[in-house]
A = this chain, B = another copy of it.
């Protein structure tokens, strides 16, 4: 028997090498390479390439001309080719943050083949890396109690009859008998039910704020806000169909009208508190638009409203009843005294002007709200900051 074991042990010794062969090779090149001083070096082996650039949200923004006038877009830098065919670029020291980038090889967008971390925001796949802050950094997975993140399907009146959403239940939920307040947290155009828990780092932000006693333990529901989409790309009957942002029924009232079915599902499935002082709705961009119009349409549902870089007004030709009688609906919403009406936007955001008009409207009517303005524009960095700022204000 001992001989058999030895023989087989020898056969098994090659498991690691063979398994790696049987699986798929992975790059030995370190890219991105985040140094202790916050500088980051990117590397791409491409001996035959004539020109390799990098574009990312950590590079200085560049001004470009657009049909709507001048705009600031994310910057690009040219990488340097070494004698060994390795192209490199080293950034200045970067502040702690989650960053996105990709390479452009002779004009072709090229994901970094040495980086295993790519996040898809519906139709957009980007390489990501994080420059860590202190041990209390909100975006990092810390050794604190962790909530559970679930992908759940709910019955819906929208096309397909059932839809997928993400639910965060705080640490301790499973073994508790308490009821919890609920935040409905909505993504933007080009996002889906995965957006806030992936690029938005909502799971980590919640775990860390709750563990620090800075936010109330809460359930956070992150639905798919595209009425034409049952679930994120790859997770619906459409299979691995190339995703698109050119969807119908994004901002035409369909989604807001159907929103109470999500609340009904959540209240009947989870141990929720069901008064409006225990219910918040917030979202970014299109999700801010959905939050604004849903909270105004159903003034009894939500005590807390958060508009992050929100779209405000419906497009030309949109005729849904959801967008009618705005003044009367707003009056009813504010007559009920919202616990919080929160607006945040970047001073470079292309939606800055409509937000300014919306604030003017609230001011004129004497409706109270909290307003936060940040640098930069319509980017995930800002939405993570707004969420981190908003959560501690809820359910106090």
Q: List residues of A whose CB falls within 8 A of some B CB.
A: 1, 4-6, 8-27, 30, 44-50, 66-68, 71, 73, 100, 102, 105-111, 113-118, 120-121, 123-126, 128-130, 132, 140-143, 145-146, 148-153, 160-162, 164, 171, 174-175, 188-190, 231, 233-237, 239-240, 242-243, 245-246, 251, 268-269, 285-286, 311-316, 327, 350-351, 353-354, 357, 377-379
Contacts and interface: CB of A to CB of B under 8 A. Distances in A.
Contacts of A162: 143, 145-146
Q: Which 7 A-B pairs have the closest CB atoms?
A: A48-B106, A22-B378, A150-B150, A146-B153, A8-B313, A24-B124, A18-B350
A128 B44 CA distance: 23
Contact of A123 (B26, B188, B235, B240): B26
A13 B85 CA distance: 46
Given A18-B378, A45-B108, A141-B231, 17 more contacts: A8-B354, A8-B357, A9-B315, A15-B189, A15-B286, A19-B188, A22-B350, A22-B377, A24-B121, A30-B242, A45-B107, A49-B106, A108-B113, A110-B111, A143-B237, A148-B151, A148-B153
Contacts of A242: 30, 114-116
A14 B311 CA distance: 11
B117 A118 contact: no
Contacts of A189: 15-16, 19
A359 to B, nearest CB: 13
A313 B275 CA distance: 59
B73 A132 contact: no
A116 B120 contact: yes
Given A19-B245, A190-B23, A354-B12, A237 B141 contact: yes
Contacts of A231: 141
Nearest to A71: B21
A130 to B, nearest CB: 5
Contacts of A16: 189, 245-246
B20 A245 contact: yes
Nearest to A122: B116
Given A150-B148, A315-B12, A111 B108 contact: no
Contact of A118 (B66, B118, B151, B314): B118
A8 B117 CA distance: 39
Contacts of A351: 15
B68 A14 contact: yes
Nearest to A19: B189
A126 to B, nearest CB: 6
Nearest to A23: B190
A121 B23 contact: yes
A129 B15 contact: no
Given A48-B49, A125-B116, A314-B9, A25 B239 contact: no
Contacts of A25: 109, 124
A119 B108 CA distance: 22
A153 B204 CA distance: 13
Contacts of A243: 116
A124 B12 contact: no
A355 to B, nearest CB: 10
B161 A313 contact: no
B237 A140 contact: yes
Contacts of A14: 67-68, 350
A149 to B, nearest CB: 5
B353 A11 contact: yes
A44 B148 contact: no
Contacts of A102: 24
B15 A315 contact: yes
